[in-house]
Chain A
Amino acid sequence: MRMSEKKTLMDLIGDIDRRVVFGFLFLALVGPLIISIPLPLPVTGFVKQYHEFLESIPAGAVVGFDVELTGATDPQLGPDLTLVFIQLFRRDVKSVIWCMTAESPVFATNAINNALKTLGEKGATKKYGVDWVELGYIAGTETGLTALMTGIRQVISKDMYGKALDDLPAMKNVNTGKDFYAVIWHSGSAGSVPYGIRQINGRFGTPMLVAVTSNEFPLYVTYLAAGQIRGLIGGARGAAEHETLMKTAGLATAQTSALALGGVVILAMLLLGNISYLDKRRRQRK
């Protein structure tokens, strides 16, 4: 082999096998889950507004709750969903839950059960039908939501357990979007926030809180700036900030150091890849 064909260190870095990159990423993401690395977590204004609005809901008020978590988005936003239910139950706020995604009702039920378990004695006093109602899956995305917010009883007469809505005390005086004190939209990555805002805040002026995965977060900051939503949670990071405000270090907080280290690795890879590319280009020009 001639000397000129010998691979330099920069060539090796540029040609690194993708499996090695995956290996580094795996170590960076899973390592901090095994060995805890505590990192400071400043709370952003978006989450502070979200938390403060939840804290301002008066006891006895009824909030609408859209849950669209799926298996993929539950690890990020599931902890926050439980936390919101804890906050609502603790403040004696009633909630009416529906799901615009077929997979989601089971995640809503799990979050409610977790919240009730966490609340202990207080949780044991909460009753289905009085403190919360689960309407289940509502098909039809935007048209389905429009119909539901125009008249819940025109779309369904029974909840997801087959109980008549008129027999549930929490549903008394609740039939349209304007009957809710506020609507919490826990969308995951379903991309449904714009139509939620259109059909609830846009039509009835009902205040809305939104929680989405981190990839969708930048898209909805403008809605917060325009006052169309009152608070915004973005992914596990936002959920962890909410946990900080609630003074509970839960599953979302456990993820933050892993996410930070993962970010460092991807930055290092980007830098190395670019340095290798520039070096190759420089040598080709010579």
Chain B
Amino acid sequence: MIDPLTFAGMLIAAALTLMTYSMLLGDQPVAQTAENILVGATTGYEAWLAIEFIQRAGWAPVATGKTYFVISLILGFMMFFRLHRSTAWLYKYPTAVVLGAGFGVAMRAAIFSQFLDQIRGTILPLTTPDAMTNINNLLMIILTVTATVYFIFSHEFKGPLTGIPRLGRYTLLAAFGAAFGSTIQFRYELVVGRGLFLLRPEIVSYSVFFLILILAALAIGYKTKKITWY
């Protein structure tokens, strides 16, 4: 049994989902309303969470005697100085600290994780007992090398060697194709996920009611030319 508050939340979610998807008929006030509600609610919720985090990880340590935490609170507050032109220069200092720390932290580990380990990952055995693994490993080695060779612009490949960068280009195209296909799949999964939610037995009748209501409102809007059909 769903409690009334959760049920009300589900009904609001169903109505807003259908209102958002009405965007597919064109940009119109019904979809814009849902969009504005989403932006407002998300901003409010995330702002509250951020304040709660500052209280927990910034203010609480200061209150318990770790006074050096006050530096992070001051730097964080300085971010708000960008809201006024005369004080905007002050926000560059916390930004510099954030960027510098982020860059330093990332670079230290990136050399190993994103460079050396990835290179090591392409040095694969070709004589395992499983023939398919051997073929996969061989393909991985050849395609990695040719894709890298494709980016050597300072040397012109002539004769039979022209095949190497060409194979590299095909490898990259195949990778882009896989990424594009996966992106389409991702969008489908969003729709299907919402579809599953709308078809939940507890709310399916309300979903149909909301759909009819939205379509009727849009039909009236288009008919009376209050909304432009394009």
B213 near A: Cβ within 8 Å? Answer: no
Complex CA distance for A33 and B199, rounded to whole angstroms: 8
Among B171-229, those with CB < 8 Å from A are 175, 178-179, 182-186, 188-197, 199
**Chain A stretch 101-133: residues in CB contact (< 8 A) with chain B:** 102-103, 105
Residue of A whose beta carbon sits closest to that of B119: A226
Q: Is the CB of A102 within 8 A of B195?
A: no
Given A29-B188, A29-B191 in contact, is the A156-B140 Cβ separation under 8 Å? no
Q: Among B57, B140, B195, point to the contact of A30 (Cβ < 8 A).
A: B195
Are A75 and B46 interface neighbours, CB within 8 A?
A: no
Shortest distance from the beta carbon of A223 to any chain B beta carbon, whole Å: 8
Residue B117 at the A interface, CB < 8 A?
yes
Interface pair A235/B53, CB less than 8 Å apart: no
CA distance A74 to B204 in the complex (A): 20
Q: Is A199 an interface residue (CB 8 A)?
A: yes
> 30 A-B residue contacts at CB 8 Å?
A25-B191, A29-B191, A30-B191, A30-B199, A76-B190, A102-B50, A138-B53, A141-B102, A142-B102, A156-B57, A194-B114, A195-B106, A197-B113, A199-B105, A218-B178, A218-B179, A219-B179, A222-B121, A223-B121, A225-B140, A226-B117, A227-B121, A236-B192, A251-B196, A255-B189, A255-B193, A258-B192, A258-B195, A259-B185, A259-B188
- Which residues of A in the span 62-115 have a Cβ within 8 Å of any Cβ on B? 72, 74-76, 102-103, 105
Interface residue SS majority, chain B: helix
Chain B contributes a number of interface residues (CB within 8 A of A) equal to 49
In the assembled complex, the CB of A161 is this many whole angstroms from the nearest CB of chain B, namely: 11
The distance from the CB of A216 to the nearest CB of chain B, in whole angstroms, is 8
Complex CA–CA separation, A222 to B49 (angstroms): 34
Which residues of chain B are near A34, meaning CB under 8 Å? 199
Given contacts A143-B102, A157-B64, 19 further A-B contacts (CB under 8 A): A29-B192, A72-B190, A75-B192, A76-B189, A139-B50, A155-B57, A198-B110, A198-B113, A202-B112, A214-B186, A218-B182, A222-B118, A226-B118, A226-B120, A228-B121, A255-B196, A258-B195, A259-B189, A262-B188
Question: What residues of B have a CB within 8 angstroms of the CB of A146 in the complex?
Answer: 105
Question: Do B186 and A103 touch (CB < 8 A)?
Answer: no
Give per-residue flags for A195-227: 1 if the beta carbon is below 8 A from chain B beta carbons, else 0.
101110111000000000111111100110111
Interface residues of B in 44-71 (CB under 8 A from A): 45-46, 49-50, 52-53, 56-57, 60-61, 64
Interface residues of B (CB under 8 A from A): 24-25, 42, 45-46, 49-50, 52-53, 56-57, 60-61, 64, 98, 101-102, 105-106, 109-110, 112-114, 117-118, 120-122, 140, 175, 178-179, 182-186, 188-197, 199
